[in-house]
Homo-oligomer: A and B are copies of this chain.
Amino acid sequence: MATSSSLTVSQALVGRTHHHGSTSTHTDRVSLPGFNLSSLSSSRTLKSSSSATQISRKRGGVATRSSIRAAAVETLEKTETDLVDQSVNTIRFLAIDAVEKANSGHPGLPMGCAPMGHILYDEIMKYNPKNPYWFNRDRFVLSAGHGCMLQYALLHLAGYDSVKEEDLKQFRQWGSKTPGHPENFETTGIEVTTGPLGQGIANAVGLALSEKHLAARFNKPDSEIVDHYTYCILGDGCQMEGIANEACSLAGHWGLGKLIAFYDDNHISIDGDTEIAFTESVDTRFEGLGWHVIWVKNGNTGYDEIRAAIKEAKSVTDKPTLIKVTTTIGFGSPNKANSYSVHGAALGTSEVDATRKNLGWPHAPFHVPEEVKKHWSRHTAEGASYEAEWNAKFAEYEKKYKEDAAEFKSIYTGELPAGWEKSLPVYTTESPADATRNLSQQCLNALAKLLPGLIGGSADLASSNMTLLKMFGDFQKATPEERNVRFGVREHAMGAICNGIGLHSPGFIPYCATFFVFTDYMRAAMRISALCETGVIYVMTHDSIGLGEDGPTHQPIEHIASFRAMPNILMLRPADGKETAGAYRVAVLNRKRPSILALSRQKLTHLPGTSIEGVEKGGYTISDNSTGNKPDVILMGTGSELEIAEQAGVELRKEGKAVRVVSFISWELFEDQSDEYKESVLPAAVTARVSIEAASTFGWAKLVGSKGKSIGIDRFGASAPAPKIYKEFGITSEAVIAAAKSLL
């Protein structure tokens, strides 16, 4: 492990770096950023120096930027740089024109990041535009998702069918493939859904983790079937978000050498110069996080610096690399560059014209010059050959390493091994009472034997969440083939990293865990799981006041309701072993819909009437002594309170009542059922209904109806032993019985 506090920012001055054959002269092009440059395409060339001149910028008082040396650079022949300039300006103007047409969007970032974007997609990355899902592609994440026109322009040039010219013209319009932020579920070629800042870099950490894990697990000395990089562009906004620090701390800890992040250091955020709120030394922080840091001082036109930095980054294999690329936001716009006004609004007709003049761009909107088109056209053939080569390699692999290949194939195709469900433990009413968090661990460990893609862990609560896979060791820098991920106390990054894992390969089944109340720390990532259709399994224990003494800061109240309201996520609260196994079955099957399992700290008995099949319906009768679908009263509960409802049912039946007890483990699954089924569980004619759940009653009115009663907790919790809190808060079978009687 490296010594980083001594700040030996090792910046090997790398040798020949570019991608297009040899250069005969070393020239170093230095341009000042963005104002009234009469012609960028004929950039001034100066005699070589081995490092770039530092660009002087107005940065009130912050003098920290000179300690990181820049990488050495080499340059290309003039004809080649002309073509690159053309391509870079094509990217800039596709962004300008699309934002202008939509009269909405963010032109500033694409204009500043076009050079790194061009170099990545045209010179560095391996991908197959005609099969965006080819397994061994390099991954790219635009963490600064508002700059999505950069990525749409690049996908367009690279030949992805998802972004044709007409799609660019439909930027930000209803039903288009080019929404306002990158969405993997709308646009093939987009790996992850970004926009909410900081998520993307954490997703990228998850993608890089996936590669490192799969490579360690499946590569053989004679066959490297897993071998790709993960690239990411993040901006000042991402850097400020806590999630980015969490994720990058883990990336450093894990030594994700194939993660290369470009920090678009443009000094502008929405409120103006970053000087007003962001004067830390990002370089130093990343050194502290264990990253290799390189500074490209001229990101606007310093193509060779960018190339050299990437080469250097690849040479550092034991650490992730941050390439700080100093750029000018809105580069090329004579009056708006380097200001917040170019961040998030169209330039306006006259400024578009001025920018065209300034950058020497005579073309009509959305025009791609022929030579640029021609230049990029090779990616289709190249991509096909990358894939063919890899397919051949894998065919060989499959012959030699049959078992490994089967496992690997399951991960990269998403096809679950036949019979995996049979691995789930079987519980009966005779099984010993246990906390659902413990039953969950039994399920996880059973599934791990059959599901090669199951991987995950906890945010420093593995021994409380009960999430360790006993047959595996820890995923660590030196043991990346293992499957227990130690996220530390970093819930938000944990969720986003799991999103990255889930989107890396369809057969990955990432799970992660913390106390249910701390979903508050990771909700933004969980929402993106739901939105981007990644079937992450959230194992959330200590799901109520049942956790006891830790008190109200640790006791979830509104959390169940808050997730029931969230689209495309399954909120499951199992009541015993059968329901826990059922919840895992549902969670594993729902690969495009994340699941939250709310699990108890306290022991629960296994109830007669619960079943895996019932779980799949979301709400189902667990006991009933009524006939003709006409119970006197319906009692409903979830999780740890289902047994309370059942006890109340037993008592009421003793008094001669016809009582149905219903488990509502997942409202979403119940909602998906037919009206007939719903009526069979909750007949409209029966209005005497009582619910009990140790949580906010918010939302239950829908199930208990206008005349029903809901027993729950519409206040914060308290610090005391759990049974005492249950009693004081009235979460008891006596309360259910009293409520039922009041309705009869």
Contact = CB atoms under 8 A, between A and B. Distances in A.
Interface of A: 1, 3-7, 60-65, 67-68, 102, 104-105, 145-146, 172-176, 179-181, 183, 193-198, 236-238, 240-246, 249-250, 252-253, 269-271, 274, 276-290, 340, 458, 460-464, 474, 476, 486-490, 492-493, 517-518, 520-521, 523-524, 527-528, 530-531, 548-554, 557-558, 561-562, 564-568, 687, 696, 698-699, 701-702, 705-707, 714-716, 718-721, 724-725, 728
Contacts of A146: 550
Given A253-B277, A284-B284, A285-B288, A719 B180 contact: yes
B269 A489 contact: yes
A707 B198 CA distance: 44
A553 B174 contact: no
A269 B459 CA distance: 10
A669 to B, nearest CB: 15
A477 to B, nearest CB: 9
Q: Looking at A240, A279, A280, A548, which has the most chain B CB atoms within 10 Å of its CB?
A: A280
Nearest to A63: B3
B237 A489 contact: yes
A29 B405 CA distance: 61
Contacts of A283: 5, 288
Nearest to A474: B276
Given A280-B289, A720-B172, A270 B464 contact: yes
Given A172-B720, A246-B241, A557 B549 contact: no
B240 A246 contact: yes
A352 to B, nearest CB: 18
Contacts of A550: 146, 180-181, 195
Q: Looking at A64, A176, A279, A463, which has the most chain B CB atoms within 10 Å of its CB?
A: A279
A464 B146 CA distance: 15
A726 to B, nearest CB: 11
Contacts of A714: 567
Nearest to A478: B61
Interface of A is mostly: loop
Contacts of A62: 1
B551 A195 contact: yes
Contacts of A270: 460-464
B7 A719 contact: no
Nearest to A550: B180
Contacts of A492: 242, 521
Contact of A523 (B249, B461, B520, B718): B520
Contacts of A237: 460, 489
Given A174-B719, A252-B279, A284-B288, 16 more contacts: A4-B64, A4-B281, A175-B720, A179-B719, A197-B489, A236-B489, A253-B278, A270-B460, A276-B488, A280-B289, A284-B287, A285-B289, A523-B523, A567-B715, A687-B706, A705-B706
Contacts of A244: 242
Given A280-B289, A565-B561, A67 B520 contact: no
A568 B715 CA distance: 7
Given A63-B3, A240-B488, A557 B567 contact: yes
A105 to B, nearest CB: 7
Given A180-B550, A558-B567, A242 B240 contact: no
Contacts of A250: 277
B181 A719 contact: yes
Given A253-B280, A269-B488, A284-B7, A528 B553 contact: yes
A252 B284 CA distance: 14
Nearest to A278: B488
Nearest to A197: B489
A288 B282 contact: yes
A152 to B, nearest CB: 12
Copies of this chain, whole number: 2
Q: Looking at A3, A461, A530, which has the most chain B CB atoms within 10 Å of its CB?
A: A3
Given A196-B553, A284-B4, A461-B270, A174 B725 contact: yes
A321 to B, nearest CB: 16
A249 B706 CA distance: 51
A3 B64 contact: yes
A156 to B, nearest CB: 18
A61 B549 contact: no
B460 A553 contact: no
B520 A521 contact: no
B271 A281 contact: no
A177 to B, nearest CB: 10
Contact of A67 (B6, B104, B281, B282): B6
Contacts of A285: 284-285, 288-289
Given A1-B61, A104-B549, A196-B521, A252 B240 contact: no
Contacts of A3: 63-64
Contact of A565 (B197, B281, B698): B698
Nearest to A235: B489
Contact of A253 (B63, B176, B279, B486): B279
Per CB-CB distance, the 10 closest pairs between chain A and chain B, nearest first, are A242-B242, A284-B288, A277-B488, A179-B719, A1-B61, A195-B553, A285-B288, A562-B562, A701-B702, A174-B720
A106 to B, nearest CB: 10
Contacts of A715: 567-568
A524 B518 contact: yes
Contact of A553 (B60, B236, B531): B531
Contacts of A173: 719-721, 724
Given A194-B553, A553-B181, A241 B489 contact: yes
A696 B64 contact: no
B5 A68 contact: yes
B276 A486 contact: yes
Nearest to A253: B279
A281 B242 contact: no
A246 B244 CA distance: 10
A549 B489 CA distance: 35
Contact of A461 (B249, B271, B280, B557): B271
13 contacts: A6-B7, A6-B67, A180-B549, A195-B550, A196-B553, A236-B489, A241-B246, A242-B246, A279-B290, A284-B287, A520-B523, A531-B553, A557-B567
Contacts of A179: 551-552, 718-719
A67 B238 CA distance: 29
A180 to B, nearest CB: 4
Q: Looking at A145, A282, A523, which has the most chain B CB atoms within 10 Å of its CB?
A: A523
A520 B563 CA distance: 12
A212 to B, nearest CB: 16
A240 B246 CA distance: 6
A65 B63 CA distance: 26
Nearest to A106: B550
A287 B4 CA distance: 12
